[in-house]
Chain A
Amino acid sequence: MADAALYASADRLFTRKKLLSFGLPALVLAYLVYVFFAFDLPGLAERARMDNAQTLLSDTWSYKTHVTRDNRSGGIDIAIEGERKGAYAEGTSPDWVTPEGEATRVDLGEGQHILLLPENGFVWDVPGYGLIEGRLDGRSLVTNLPETGLPEWISASSSRVQITRPEARVALTRAKTEVFRYFPGWELFFFTLDSPYHGHGLTEILFGDQIDPARGNLAGAWHDFWQNGMWRHADVAWALFETLLMAFLGTMGAAIVALPLAFLSARNFAPLGALRFATRRVFDFLRGVDGLIWTIVLSRAFGPGPLTGALAMLITDTGSFGKLFSEALENVDGRQIEGVASTGAKPLQRYRFGVIPQVMPVLISQVLYFLESNTRSATIIGAITGGGIGLLLTQAMITQKDWEEVTYYILLVVLMVMAMDSLSGWLRRKLIRGS
């Protein structure tokens, strides 16, 4: 009889386990199928802009130089990324752009070149395809291309002719002819073209002759690098600092505010049951109203900037810290407090010498964890309120062309967060073991 009951219970157990091990994955799978359609994943392929992905990827590791022949003035402009800050001064040009009689020769390397003709036209001998000619004839553009059967990297109409190849791109319109030539790397990362130090190596600057007669090499080079108009290193460094500042002020401020409140809401310290209940609900409210909402509310009062972000973090984290600290306080050992009290200590001294030493390691480690994760949050909040590296990141993304800057900022953010991670880990070990 006992055996039968045992068998039955074993059977029940097995059925339960079977249900769990098959039912759970089935449930998850069913949910994923639902989400697949709820998020319209089949339609995603249509909406995805693969050309955007391509621009993004190529822009992160390469840059382009624009060589433009303006048809009205007949002059040649050369500018890196087509930006004014990257323009070559009048009369200067990189060595791959040379005048050739009336025309201008743009060397593409590997024996290829494009000729920009004086009457707004171009000649390009594309390897594997043949010589392509295009020019302005009266009001319309004419080419030697056939009417039909063009490869997909050529588009030609009477108002615009464009040839896009991996090594370069040429676009001919009535107003101008424009050649893009691509180079690997980040353009003008150290010095812009107007700096005398552009094109000089590090050893040359450190040990070579004085380049700019007015300034010492090191001071001048540092100044030009730091004030680089294109990459704005000084602003970026400041933005990183601002992000760290937000995280620091928010976390530490929250800890300072939350500690006394936690005493009010810990079961063993609360002077009044009602007060304890109220404090707990305040913590729940601060946490429940998300950081996003606090950010919105505060930015109406304080305007955009790092202080708004810091206060938003302070308020949200006060709720989290309050809960964590009061839990830590509820777990303290009463005997130590009694011991301190038996020496005639006043309440404040009892807290200082009986309670704080017990909860300090927990407090410190929580605060340091939050400091690290708030560095990341500060980037996100900065993007919403407008402060720190988050702002620079969103600004660079909105232009949709400065992806090399976006990459640079992402790299800096990741390095910053990782550095904070190791710093907080190091401090945690140091402070908790040390004290």
Chain B
Amino acid sequence: MTQMPDAPFDTRAHYLALTARRRLYGGILMAVFVLLMVSGFLLADGRNAGGFWDGLPHILDFPADVVRDTIPRLNLLPGYLVKYFPALVETVNIAAVSTLLGTLGAMVLSLLATRGLARWPRLIPVFRRLMDLLRAVPEIVVALVLIFVLGGGPVPAMIAIALHTAGALGKLFSEVNENADLKPVEGLHSVGATWLQRMWLGVVPQVSPNYLSYALMRFEINIRASAILGFVGAGGIGYELRNTMSWGQGKFDEAAAIFILLFLTIVVFDQLSGHVRHMMITSRSKGH
């Protein structure tokens, strides 16, 4: 067999062929995606009690009802806002406590699950799976089971959200921990500090700004979660909302008050935590 001389490599043709192939793949992917979206929509539409196109004109019916009930009795609204304020405080409390407890749990779990920092390096996979598990269980599942055992009220929601928070933040925290500088830890180790002291004095000061930022973000999410859990019976503003909703037409003015409270709370805490996070970032980039 004689060696053929290499044909001159046609860069242009090769590039065009590559592009064409890439376009083809992209096109196929796009077509599959569109197909999935359309068929999924049709399927969901078919399984729904009311169809999409029938319901579309009625989408504003409920807000219109609420407004119609509220406008003639606008003078009652401040009274309702005051009436439901304690329930709102309960919802925010549930979110705050569960964020607090969840953050503490996440700190411990994440330190135990980070290579180089873990107290028991062999158990790292165990703690990782534990965090995955906590993250995967939807809050509503834990809350409903606990409502059955503990009765309605804020405690089941608090426990449920705290567990989920510990898992969700634990994952984020352990990513932060992995970037922590190990030198302070080694220094503390050399002077005989215990594991707890090494973590508290060597790692936590480095990572606490990131922790705080993530915890604030989680707090926002948890306010929404605690409102939703209230709706299935765990107290707070969600519970009141369901009660006012079930009174039916003509009484939606109280529901309107709750909508306003919930909306304002979410927006206020959203802005607040965004502001604090922004401040932390700028103060650090200035060279703290």
B44 is contacted by which of A38, A310, A390 (Cβ under 8 Å)? A310
| Across-interface contacts of A292 in B (CB, < 8 A) | 224, 227-228, 231, 238, 241, 262
A52 is contacted by which of B36, B51, B149 (Cβ under 8 Å)? B149
CA distance A245 to B43 in the complex (A): 9
| Across-interface contacts of B144 in A (CB, < 8 A) | 393-394, 397
Give min CB distance, A91 to chain B, whole Å: 39
For residue B150, CB closer than 8 A to chain A, the reply is yes
User: A292 — nearest CB in chain B belongs to which residue?
Assistant: B228
| Across-interface contacts of A301 in B (CB, < 8 A) | 50, 55-56, 58-59, 61-62
A289 is contacted by which of B231, B238, B263 (Cβ under 8 Å)? B263
Over the window 41-71 of chain B, the binary record of Cβ atoms lying under 8 Å from chain A Cβ atoms (1 yes, 0 no) is 1011101111110011011011100000000
Asked if A308 contacts B97 (CB within 8 A), the reply is: no
For residue A231, CB closer than 8 A to chain B, the reply is no
User: B237 — nearest CB in chain A belongs to which residue?
Assistant: A292
Asked if B149 contacts A49 (CB within 8 A), the reply is: yes
User: A249 — nearest CB in chain B belongs to which residue?
Assistant: B40
Asked if B150 contacts A417 (CB within 8 A), the reply is: no
> Which parts of A375-431 form the interface with B (CB within 8 Å)?
376-377, 379-380, 383-384, 387, 390, 393-394, 397, 400, 406, 410, 413-414, 417-418, 421
| Across-interface contacts of A50 in B (CB, < 8 A) | 149
> Which parts of B186-209 form the interface with A (CB within 8 Å)?
none
Number of interface residues of A (CB under 8 A): 63
Query: Contacts A300-B58, A410-B141 known; A307 to B48 CB distance under 8 Å?
Result: yes
Query: Contacts A301-B59, A301-B62, A418-B136 known; A406 to B145 CB distance under 8 Å?
Result: yes
For residue A41, CB closer than 8 A to chain B, the reply is yes
Over the window 265-295 of chain A, the binary record of Cβ atoms lying under 8 Å from chain B Cβ atoms (1 yes, 0 no) is 0000000000000000000100111111100
Asked if B137 contacts A302 (CB within 8 A), the reply is: no
CA distance A421 to B134 in the complex (A): 13
CA distance A292 to B96 in the complex (A): 19
User: B147 — nearest CB in chain A belongs to which residue?
Assistant: A397
| Across-interface contacts of A289 in B (CB, < 8 A) | 259, 263
B155 is contacted by which of A44, A300, A380, A393 (Cβ under 8 Å)? A44
Asked if A298 contacts B93 (CB within 8 A), the reply is: no
> Which parts of A206-248 form the interface with B (CB within 8 Å)?
242, 245-246, 248
Asked if A296 contacts B132 (CB within 8 A), the reply is: no
Asked if B136 contacts A298 (CB within 8 A), the reply is: no
Query: Contacts A288-B270, A307-B47 known; A53 to B139 CB distance under 8 Å?
Result: no
> Which parts of A319-336 form the interface with B (CB within 8 Å)?
none
For residue B121, CB closer than 8 A to chain A, the reply is no
Secondary structure call for the A interface: helix
A31 is contacted by which of B58, B96, B224, B267 (Cβ under 8 Å)? B96
For residue A153, CB closer than 8 A to chain B, the reply is no
Query: Contacts A245-B43, A249-B41, A397-B144 known; A303 to B55 CB distance under 8 Å?
Result: yes
Query: Contacts A300-B58, A307-B44 known; A44 to B150 CB distance under 8 Å?
Result: yes
Number of interface residues of B (CB under 8 A): 59
Give min CB distance, A52 to chain B, whole Å: 5
User: A418 — nearest CB in chain B belongs to which residue?
Assistant: B136
User: A388 — nearest CB in chain B belongs to which residue?
Assistant: B47
For residue B140, CB closer than 8 A to chain A, the reply is yes
User: A414 — nearest CB in chain B belongs to which residue?
Assistant: B136
For residue B245, CB closer than 8 A to chain A, the reply is yes
> Which parts of B115-160 form the interface with A (CB within 8 Å)?
132-133, 135-141, 144-145, 148-151, 153-155, 158
Asked if A293 contacts B141 (CB within 8 A), the reply is: no
Asked if B93 contacts A39 (CB within 8 A), the reply is: yes
Over the window 151-189 of chain B, the binary record of Cβ atoms lying under 8 Å from chain A Cβ atoms (1 yes, 0 no) is 101110010000000000000000000000000000000
For residue A175, CB closer than 8 A to chain B, the reply is no
| Across-interface contacts of A297 in B (CB, < 8 A) | 59, 62-63
Query: Contacts A296-B62, A301-B62, A394-B144 known; A56 to B50 CB distance under 8 Å?
Result: no
Asked if B145 contacts A56 (CB within 8 A), the reply is: yes
Asked if A307 contacts B52 (CB within 8 A), the reply is: yes
Asked if B139 contacts A305 (CB within 8 A), the reply is: no
Give min CB distance, A36 to chain B, whole Å: 9
B97 is contacted by which of A35, A379, A393, A406 (Cβ under 8 Å)? A35
Query: Contacts A384-B231, A414-B136 known; A302 to B48 CB distance under 8 Å?
Result: yes
Query: Contacts A39-B158, A248-B36 known; A290 to B227 CB distance under 8 Å?
Result: yes
Asked if A291 contacts B224 (CB within 8 A), the reply is: yes
User: A310 — nearest CB in chain B belongs to which residue?
Assistant: B44
Give min CB distance, B267 to chain A, whole Å: 4
| Across-interface contacts of B132 in A (CB, < 8 A) | 418, 421
| Across-interface contacts of A291 in B (CB, < 8 A) | 224, 228
CA distance A44 to B153 in the complex (A): 9
Asked if A288 contacts B137 (CB within 8 A), the reply is: no
A383 is contacted by which of B41, B232, B245 (Cβ under 8 Å)? B232
| Across-interface contacts of A305 in B (CB, < 8 A) | 44, 47-50
The 8 listed contacts between A and B (C-beta, < 8 Å) are: A288-B270, A293-B259, A304-B48, A305-B49, A384-B231, A387-B47, A414-B133, A418-B132
Q: Which residues of A contact B (CB under 8 A)?
A: 28, 31-32, 35, 38-41, 44, 47-50, 52-53, 56, 242, 245-246, 248-249, 252-253, 284, 287-293, 296-298, 300-308, 310, 376-377, 379-380, 383-384, 387, 390, 393-394, 397, 400, 406, 410, 413-414, 417-418, 421
Nearest 9 A/B pairs, CB to CB: A303-B49, A305-B48, A303-B50, A302-B55, A307-B48, A300-B62, A417-B136, A307-B44, A301-B55
- 18 new A-B contacts, CB < 8 A, other than A248-B36, A379-B141, are A41-B155, A44-B153, A48-B151, A56-B148, A246-B44, A249-B41, A253-B37, A288-B267, A291-B224, A292-B238, A302-B51, A305-B49, A308-B48, A377-B138, A413-B136, A413-B141, A414-B136, A418-B132
